[in-house]
A and B are shown apart, each in its own frame.
Chain A
Amino acid sequence: MTELATYNFAYLDEQTKRMIRRAILKAIAIPGYQVPFASREMPMPYGWGTGGVQVTASIIGPEDVLKVIDQGADDTTNAVSIRAFFQKVANVAVTTHTKDATIIQTRHRIPEQQLEKGQVLVYQVPIPEPLRFLEPRETETRKMHALEEYGLMHVKLYEDIARHGRISTTYAYPVKVAGRYVMDPSPTPKFDNPKMHMSEALQLFGAGREKRIYAVPPYTDVVSLDFEDYPFEIQKFEQPCALCGAQGVYLDEVVLDDKGGRMFVCSDTDHCEDRREHGHAGEMLAPAKEAAE
């Protein structure tokens, strides 16, 4: 990271920021449409969220408070590195608390706590094109979006039903934005899709390697594709979080020992910690609490 010695505020040069800012404004004006932009080299490899990092770098100011999550956690290497990067190049305040953040950069999750007006959620996107697995040629997928030709996507989902008795897609589940563009919500679990609908926060998506930016404005319809006889459903978990007892949240499986012991805990670590601080306890913590009494 020695090349950072003579960086501009937030690392990117002003001309690059202007170009990305113009792309962001067009992305907001055409919800769900992928705006091409001239992605820059960042001092981190692709796959580390260079698209999201460039979006964040173009919008962030000295007054912002930044939170970075990776699969819901604030403490993974990826999240820690990106947070440290912005502390260094923009000298901004950082937080792990969802409610305190003005900008939240995320990889693969939407926080459990409902986002509020004024907050911006920046997604790191690996593959922005929801039609790519159906059609490898960019010229063709662009034409499909232009003509609103989404029949193939429905055929694919319906083949799923024929094969599995249900739609088997659980991540990057396609959505239709503002009744027009089919959009890839990035590899978030479909559990998070309903949170995108009519969100009070602005949602921005950056794909670095694929050079695309797209957006969902606040209070915008985001509908998961489905069929009348097979309506969209989110994942349901049989038990609450083992640490905080939360229900109706997205859980990760944690292996406890080599004898098959395992538990399910909140993927959103801030949400889980906040609940525990407020006295909530799941079954893994409850016995310890009783013993102390």
Chain B
Amino acid sequence: MNIKTQALSGGFQEPVFHSQGVFRMLMDGMARPGTVHTIAMDIGQPEPLGQAAGAIALTLCDHDTPTWLSAGLLKSPAAEWIGFHTGAPITREKAESRFAFVEAGVAPSSFGLFAAGTQEYPDRSTTLVIEIGALGQGQALTLKGPGIQQTTTVKLKGLPEVFPRLWADNRALFPRGVDVILTAGKSLLCLPRTTQIAVQ
């Protein structure tokens, strides 16, 4: 399959119902940080975009959401795929992005350049979708905060080592800050800015 056909193929087979289903997973995921949700439907997204990450783009992105892509995604057919299926303008400016997609193995050195919103409008912030190795195995972390009864443990494989420190910096900005969705293939897990993370 050449790059062009790859960009035009796939997507939700039933856009109305599939985007509703994925949204409910995201809503439940944000409301219960650390819970793992699985996207079952095949959407034919090109590498290195993961299935869950692609489904998130199809569900939430459109021409109102400038979208930033990490270098590997930007030079892959995934960039055109997101553009074609969602209409989202691809931006190189982190600060103006409403969504940012990061491929596996790339550690963001900082969240600082992404939009954190303002003190008056903290919702005007970037949501980062970061692909990692696996959810449910690997390093154990303790999560705490709204949506979590006392504490919960998550296991994450391939989380950039710098992540807990970046997250602590992000927490300190509250109510400003970015929100993160971690994805691994078909799985996703949400980390709203309110969640506190401790390495076990």
Contact = CB atoms under 8 A, between A and B. Distances in A.
Contacts of A23: 123
Interface residues of A, number: 42
Interface in A29-71: 29-31, 33, 35-36, 58-62
Contacts of B123: 23, 26-27, 30, 33, 35-36
Contacts of B32: 217-218
The 10 closest A-B pairs by CB, nearest first: A29-B192, A217-B147, A26-B123, A146-B119, A220-B146, A28-B30, A217-B146, A202-B31, A61-B20, A219-B149
A113 B21 CA distance: 27
Interface stretch (B3-11, B60-68, B70-78): B60-68
B15 A14 contact: yes
Contacts of B28: 118, 202
B122 A30 contact: yes
Contact of B65 (A22, A143, A145): A22
Nearest to A118: B28
Interface size class of B (residues with CB under 8 A): 35 or more
B19 to A, nearest CB: 7
B31 A28 contact: yes
Contact of B24 (A8, A19, A27, A61): A61
A180 interface: yes
A25 B127 contact: yes
Contact of A25 (B19, B21, B26): B26
A178 B62 contact: no
A24 interface: yes
Interface string B183-200: 000000000111000000
A23 B65 CA distance: 12
Given A26-B125, A219-B149, A61 B21 contact: yes
A256 interface: no
Contact of A29 (B15, B64, B121, B194): B194
B119 A62 contact: no
A158 interface: no
Given A17-B19, A29-B30, A30-B122, 9 more contacts: A21-B26, A30-B123, A59-B23, A59-B27, A61-B24, A142-B120, A178-B194, A219-B146, A219-B149
Contacts of B149: 198, 218-219
B130 to A, nearest CB: 16
B103 interface: no
Nearest to A27: B123
Contact of B23 (A21, A31, A181, A217): A21
A25 B175 CA distance: 14
A6 B21 CA distance: 23
Contacts of A26: 123, 125, 179
A292 interface: no
Given A18-B60, A21-B59, A29-B194, A217 B27 contact: no
Interface string B44-57: 00000000000000
A26 B32 CA distance: 14
30 contacts: A8-B16, A15-B62, A18-B62, A21-B26, A25-B26, A25-B127, A26-B179, A28-B147, A29-B30, A29-B192, A29-B193, A29-B194, A30-B193, A30-B194, A33-B122, A33-B123, A36-B121, A36-B123, A59-B20, A61-B17, A61-B20, A147-B119, A181-B175, A202-B27, A217-B146, A217-B194, A218-B149, A219-B146, A219-B147, A219-B148
